[in-house]
Structure 1
């Protein structure tokens, strides 16, 4: 079997021949889950290299921390360090192959007419069925989010409905409790003033300006005005941590998760939506695709997992989709599917 290798560049310590061998070992181990021997690499991947030459290079790669020999006379298995080189080589490619069946499933997204939350829930189920890993999806509001408008509507003598409409159409609402009875006419005046400040500014800019003016120009409305600011801050912060997951049962079928204690730790983490979303938010970068492998993960419950994330920005919204799987993940197929899915979402 012949594999075209990208130009070396990820790890300056490795020669081109070592990169070829390392890539082949990782590729074979992902495929079979069995330790890989030099003879296998010589026969299936690098037919122009002798098994003895490959064996010597594999010994050097083991000494450098890229490979591990689980027991004497066994082949080698890749470490997280080897997976990092492998993934970086994949990410250098211009395009990746996506199976026809996966493309057909992703085409169904164009025909879906659902609310944002229902669409994200549907997307995670679809992605889980394609990759056979745990999938996740969410929409976050960017730090420089702008609001289209605010509305304040009187409910009764001590409650006001706050409606927050973000640029891009996302709508949030909540009830504010007031100490005094505020008339709808007063609320209309305050709404007009707030929307005048909000126009043409990010929320952070508008909020700071309103806080400067509130005790100078809005003394009569100070209480409800400050409550409104706090509520908008809370909504925007909370919305950064709204994620959906799907395909969780997929990991029960993977041999990589036979350790029940490690499996339980991961499932507990997934159930804690806010903590898990913070991890995803911290790991997502400005790059189209981010891959966090094994020991690179920030929490112990994810040390035996890899997290592949794709993100796309549109207006004030940032869509994040991703997959959680074993370190022995099919990175090539997963990254290809996520790239195609991002294209679908942007279009």
Structure 2
């Protein structure tokens, strides 16, 4: 693509991002000039339409960018490097200083701040629970045939869970079970413990008769519920955009976002990638709703710890979104001791 055509394409994209309406050649001529006539710009826009970069919603209307155009535009932005969002960095620093919240609470705060700064939906996928190293596990009686399980990790209390007892257990039994599990698994990640317990139960066909077997049965129930956590903020910000201007679109979007497994699968694709990743369509959750995802992995001591990002319409302000995501990921990685 020659320089002139590239300038006109990027002008159409930037204009459409700003006004959320089809862009005509006269608008580009008046706003950008380029020293070109409206007719020359119109002809170039027609060529871009034939190449698949622009489309015309209806006859005699202006043009709008296609997914291919956005992807081309994003590649150019990423080649230019990512600027730091100083306003967001200041807010993140203030929250990190002021809050005594757990890591999960702080991730929820970050998702909200990203949404506030962008007016898109902030999402954070945390592998905190699975990746955490067990420090201690305790069990306590709760009502009839119910047990409270408390998992403490290197990050503090991760989760309180109420589960059904796999058999009548006294508090003395549960104390013994706690001692056995702490001796056996303290220092291992919750993911590894979960895998080991599930394999043991499957191989030994545990009947939950002995105290050791009861321990494994009880922990199978507790650890089977340990999965990735996802924090989502800013649904209201998203649906207030003109891209979601009817109730059907809003209902479909809300239904898709509520399916956490779809969101986790989408963000999981980013987990092993380095740097900011931008997905325009190319995924069932995004493509069907004309959405884009700007996301980045964040790290804890060199290991991928989670993914944070922004979900917005394909007509999103990519430069701002990339800056917000990059700033947030770098800040969080520093907080977790990676840098």
Summarize the alignment of residues 263-274 of structure 1 with structure 2, pairs less than 5 Å apart. Answer: 263-270=250-257, 272=258, 274=260
Call closer, same or farther: CA 1:142–1:231 in 2, change over 3 Å.
closer
Using the size of structure 1 for normalisation, the TM-score is 0.76
Cα displacement string for residues 228-257 of structure 1 (whole angstroms, at most 9, x for unaligned residues): 1231121x12xx2442323x3334542222
Which residue of 96, 102, 111 maps to 2:97?
Answer: 111
**2:245 alignment partner in structure 1:** 258
**2:210 alignment partner in structure 1:** 220
Call closer, same or farther: CA 1:162–1:283 in 2, change over 3 Å.
same
Structure 1 distance, partners of 2:315, 2:204, is 59
**After the TM superposition, which of the residue ranges 50-59 and 73-82 deviates more from structure 2?**
50-59
**2:165 alignment partner in structure 1:** 178
Summarize the alignment of residues 75-224 of structure 1 with structure 2, pairs less than 5 Å apart. Answer: 75-96=62-83, 98=85, 101-116=87-102, 118-141=105-128, 145-154=132-141, 158-178=145-165, 180-210=167-197, 211-212=199-200, 215=204, 220-221=210-211, 222-224=213-215
Structure 2 distance, partners of 1:250, 1:208, is 39
Call closer, same or farther: CA 1:107–1:141 in 2, change over 3 Å.
closer
Q: Is 1:230 equivalent to 2:221 in the alignment?
A: yes
- For residue 226 of structure 1, give the secondary structure of its aligned residue in structure 2: helix
Call closer, same or farther: CA 1:18–1:148 in 2, change over 3 Å.
farther
Structure 2 distance, partners of 1:31, 1:103, is 25
- Structure 1 unaligned blocks of 5 or more: 1-13
How far 1:159 moved relative to its partner? 4.2
Structure 2 distance, partners of 1:94, 1:322, is 17
Q: Is 1:69 equivalent to 2:56 in the alignment?
A: yes
Which residue of 257, 278, 285 maps to 1:299?
Answer: 285
How far 1:63 moved relative to its partner? 1.4
How far 1:49 moved relative to its partner? 6.2
Cα displacement string for residues 10-44 of structure 1 (whole angstroms, at most 9, x for unaligned residues): xxxx4555444332321222123343344655665
Cα displacement string for residues 130-162 of structure 1 (whole angstroms, at most 9, x for unaligned residues): 222333345334755542332234557844432
- The total of aligned residue pairs comes to 327
Structure 1 distance, partners of 2:114, 2:291, is 17
Using the size of structure 2 for normalisation, the TM-score is 0.77
| Cα pair 1:157 1:180 within 8 Å, conserved | no
- For residue 309 of structure 1, give the secondary structure of its aligned residue in structure 2: strand
**1:8 alignment partner in structure 2:** none
- For residue 224 of structure 2, give the secondary structure of its aligned residue in structure 1: helix
Which residue of 305, 308, 314 maps to 2:300?
Answer: 314
